[in-house]
Amino acid sequence: MSYDNENIFAKIIRGEFGCIKVYEDDHVIAFMDIMPQADGHTLIVPKEAAETLSDLSDDGAAAAIKVVKKIVGAVKVAMDVPAATVMQLNGSEAGQTVPHIHFHVIPGSILGGKPHAREMADQELLKGFADKIIAALG
């Protein structure tokens, strides 16, 4: 399968579509999920054009995991939770809704929580959570 360069995450990476960003470097961007499963739900998206984890280069995977680790710590502090769920849905059959590799950091447990990608959140509420996460990143 060939990579769809017009998917929403590719457009966010290129700056063609907005997001509530909490982190960015040369390899990865992290922003608030607009259909969160919990308050503070953050997405970590490698900038490399890859649909699934298998398509991502080893260097891209290493860069992404380093940022996932950083975001997990910031989300726990910002949202005042003792734990976070880290999730990567690898392929549409696994529930991946955007055909670009990405990781979810969800404060607390998703057991009994909101379903994945079903309900849009209030943008101002998301901006408030983003500000807390950015502050926790230092």
- The residues that are catalytic are 102
Tell me the torsion sign for CA atoms 132, 133, 136, 138: negative
Q: What is the largest CA-CA distance in the chain?
A: 41
Q: Give residue 137's identity as a one-letter amino acid code.
A: L
C-alpha distance from residue 67 to each of 10, 76, 125 (Å): 18, 14, 23
Classify 38 as helix, strand or coil.
coil
Asked if residue 67 lies in contact with residue 25, where contact means CB atoms within 8 angstroms, the answer is yes
C-beta of residue 79 within 8 angstroms of C-beta of residue 107? yes
